[in-house]
Structure 1
């Protein structure tokens, strides 16, 4: 699906999208034509996303949000729940799904919402609130949203032609610019009854729908940042082989002990990611029951991937020397893109709280 020729074209456009703060329209058209929006096993998607991210991080991160929703529908179907089979069919047909879940000031993430979901007589809901980091904003055709109705959380999907929503076109960030993750304002946007995916109690939930979101989001986010690290390591090796030392009579930096240590250090850290990300993805596909350990391991995998990627990119910047600091360098763009990893749920504090609760029990 991701042929070398396609990946080369995608990489050739990445710098321009970043420079112009533009959405990756050409990449999306080619990926859709290649069948990249269609459902497939999580392990396969994780590997493909890592490869795509090594060529164009923002394109991979943007399309990630669609792939997460497709993954949620697969998780349910594989566990005997056909409530989102329609989503799999529409993704196969080329519809583009996006996430409208993140909200300003809501650190409960999926366990509560500041958006109001008002029930309608026909079983649908009208959603009013503000969603941030809505990746794929210029292009989505289906938007997953959720809001609160009393002590219940209502999840559903808008279509783009639904009235009652608007995009603020306010995405101007340090990195991951091509995702165009604008703020979305919901002003009574109605989701009909047949597109209400779940109604769950406020608070943590063991529902497979919630598990599907966590599993796919965390593992695919981790895969994207692992891909950024893959490319940074490649560039570090190229820089070490290209640069020469005047004080060492023109010797290559590839024989400098300190440079060799930095590259080895980055590789050692990076090599640890694939076994964890891929084993967990395979277990999601295989409907393996890890019980209460699932959330600890999923959040830990995302945390380790994003933090490792930051370390690898930092080492690559040090190996590359001053040339890597130029705004036109690919490494400089990777340095900006990799920083976004600290903002994706679950953040560092939440990860540590999840692991502590798993080992020590909840706080009294």
Structure 2
């Protein structure tokens, strides 16, 4: 595969907007038919967007968190499944940036610039909680490893070239093994059947005695031993997806009311768009959407500021700002996607229109991790100055 190399942030945003317009056209049909977006992901790879966080010294644009968040918001406004697929991709690019050796960085950054895609194999079912990782990396005498385990919710792995796998070594230290999608012993099962985000292919990965060279394993446990933005960047991208869904649902509702809705007979107006009660409701929904976008930008700027001067305090500020953005965007996405039917009327509930995909996508994506715990951390920080914990979900 060959890929364009994006030069700077302005080009990255231009490319993202163009791809969003392209992906929007068939988004509803892809969802209705559960048509997996392989062609669209190939376009995404070829565009160069998947390499925009490669450091400049390795030939990448090294875009800011502000630009990366906007790229995700634009893509999600067109098709939130397509936007979610590369979320883990960028998370595991960050692991390489922080924990990779010079040789590992050189190799993987070249892969990214060539358009290669990272999937993910993180979550496991049947364990005590999301941080209870039981997949094992067993060391061999020659320094290589054997990888065994089963992963679920492996978004994007069906389409990936490389699968970053969270696993523990014999001393329980957390590592990431980067495994080729077609490596012997790797099985990717397309068994995702969620009510929303239907084309993310968030299925199962089985790892049966997979051989992993030593230079494909990174010490992820070191990420959390000092100030870090791993979780903040990951959650920022999730917030951007939710903000994109909210904006798309609001635009869809406005278009429907302008072109297809009838006015309520008591309103005394000629068109639904002139109904003062509908106007009021659209104003409320617009406030929710604009607030989610503003919180997203504020959080991204906080991440950029912390990356420039990383300390315990700056990392905490960034994590709290991202937590606020994620809560705000999740609320907006669910509320606006639900209100789409409230303002559009009975006709909008026709299954053939598939307008419910916005609510299904919002409701599914916002389940990724609970907003209630983010609010707890925000409250503790504001009231008592308690810094948020160092983990990959905040």
TM range (shorter): 0.7 to 0.9
Secondary structure at the aligned position of 1:10 is classed as helix
Q: TM-score, normalised by structure 2?
A: 0.81
- Structure 1 match to 2:33: 20
Contact 1:226 1:306 survives alignment (8 Å): yes
Q: TM-score, normalised by structure 1?
A: 0.87
- Structure 1 match to 2:157: 137
- Structure 2 match to 1:124: 144
Query: 2:299 and 2:102 mapped to 1: Cα distance?
Result: 21
- Structure 2 match to 1:37: 50
Secondary structure at the aligned position of 2:191 is classed as coil
Query: 2:124 and 2:167 mapped to 1: Cα distance?
Result: 10
Query: Which of 43, 55, 60 is the aligned partner of 2:78?
Result: 55
Query: 2:249 and 2:350 mapped to 1: Cα distance?
Result: 15
CA deviations 1:30-63 (Å, max 9, x no partner) are 2222212212322212111111111111111112
Query: Which of 185, 206, 228 is the aligned partner of 1:164?
Result: 185
CA deviations 1:259-308 (Å, max 9, x no partner) are 11211111111111223222332343342441434433333322221122
- Structure 2 match to 1:219: 236
Query: Which of 120, 123, 132 is the aligned partner of 1:99?
Result: 120
- Structure 2 match to 1:268: 287
Structure number having the greater strand percentage: 1
Q: Is 1:326 paired with 2:350?
A: yes
Query: 1:207 and 1:128 mapped to 2: Cα distance?
Result: 29
- Structure 1 match to 2:205: 184
Query: Which of 280, 301, 310 is the aligned partner of 1:282?
Result: 301
Query: Which of 237, 256, 263 is the aligned partner of 1:239?
Result: 256
Contact 2:302 2:318 survives alignment (8 Å): no
Contact 2:118 2:157 survives alignment (8 Å): no
Equivalent residue runs for 1:52-91 within 5 Å? 52-74=75-97, 84-91=105-112
Change (3 A) 1:68 1:93: same
What is the root-mean-square deviation of aligned Cα atoms in Å? 2.8
Secondary structure at the aligned position of 1:178 is classed as coil
Query: 2:282 and 2:26 mapped to 1: Cα distance?
Result: 28
More deviation, 257-266/59-68: 59-68
Contact 1:72 1:216 survives alignment (8 Å): no
More deviation, 122-131/334-343: 122-131
Query: Which of 159, 173, 193 is the aligned partner of 1:152?
Result: 173
Query: 1:296 and 1:105 mapped to 2: Cα distance?
Result: 30
Which structure 2 residue ranges, 5 or more long, are not aligned?
1-13, 54-62, 388-394
